Structure 1
């Protein structure tokens, strides 16, 4: 047996209809020059069994779309994944996902494919996006045998970039929620966290327009410049 074939993880077995739906998924679009208001965004939040992206699992997914400059409240996305083997721990309990909820959840392959269909070719926003992106990449690869290609933008970095005069001790989601006086139905719940992150994103988009950043491409380019300056500053 070829050594590399032995090391490569086997592809998951999928039903024919799932293969057909995978083939119909659109390719992610490059950063657009349309206005921030014209761009459709998907705001994502994952609840996981822990913080190790190499070992822990995605337990539930919440997402909302921002369309025409507003949150599409009538079409949220929410799924709890079937994880009957998941042991109860502090990370699981904080999300309110007990054994019965995880045992009754959706098939992971079906739920993740539905999420990709919901995202379409839109860019994804998340708070601490690199973690969500890495967790979702592994989940999609394990359950669908697919390489995740959707571009992510980190709200946790957009916020301080657009508010340089705001100094927060932790600068977590709760801190920015309090900074802008947003109300939250329930924290550590994927759909509620996605909703409040979308509300925060709309505030940040308004600030971006006032700073002459009115397209996804301009916003991504400015964020890249800000990140490079931050790295250079910490390297001194």
Structure 2
């Protein structure tokens, strides 16, 4: 095999391309109230933390709509990965070879996910990681460019709660701070659900701080991020 064959983009079937073309385009973040926005809360379990090499193994997502978690709108898939290698990460997420072997076709699962997301913005905890992993999977399997806005609750929580100092500031720390408890940690669906519960608490705080729109919240996060960089001398 030619060395250059490794760099050729994966061929996407015509039927997949047609379905990709029918996906809804992402909407810009709204200036309307937080309550009026449909949000998709996303969590991924992966084979590791390398966004260039590791794979998406499972996806969990839940919808926040009309200011509440809509339990009728939930998404859960485990993805089949042909070249998946057993690593120490299985001790965290519990997705062993048999679970991966029984998983869904990645292209089909990703198409179903993007249909589920529609034009909605995405919420996550440490969202940039999930965003990069999902973007790479979508490009590899669907030839699709992810452009949906992502908001990171790991940034929003300290922004809205400057009086709190948490040593680790992970999802467990913030959920414990507000008395929340995940059914099972490092399970994509359970993590998405507890992340959605945390989001509702933070949205309530945001409204009290006159940050009552997705676009306004995003601008405030960007200002908070720039201020943090300046304080660290970057």
- CA distance 1:188–1:58, shift in 2 (3 Å): same
Q: Deviations over 1:72-120 (max 9, x none)?
A: 1122100000014212111123211111110010000000111111111
1:204 to 202, 205, 215: 202
Of 24, 44, 48, the residue aligned with 1:46 is: 44
SS in structure 2 at match of 1:77: strand
Find the aligned partners of 1:146 and 1:20 in 2 and give their Cα distance. Answer: 11
RMSD: 1.4
Identify unmatched segments of 5+ residues in structure 1: none
Aligned to 2:74: 76
Match of 2:58 in 1: 60
Distance 2:35 2:142 in 1: 32
What does 1:69-218 correspond to in 2, within 5 Å? Answer: 69-218=67-216
Structure 2 unaligned regions, length at least 5? none
* Cα deviation digits, residues 11-31 of structure 1 (max 9, x gap): 433251x22221111111111
Aligned pair count reads 231
Residue 15 of structure 2 corresponds to residue 12 of structure 1? no
TM-score by length of structure 1 reads 0.94
Match status 1:32 vs 2:30? yes
Extract structure 1 runs of 4+ deviating beyond 4 A.
5-8
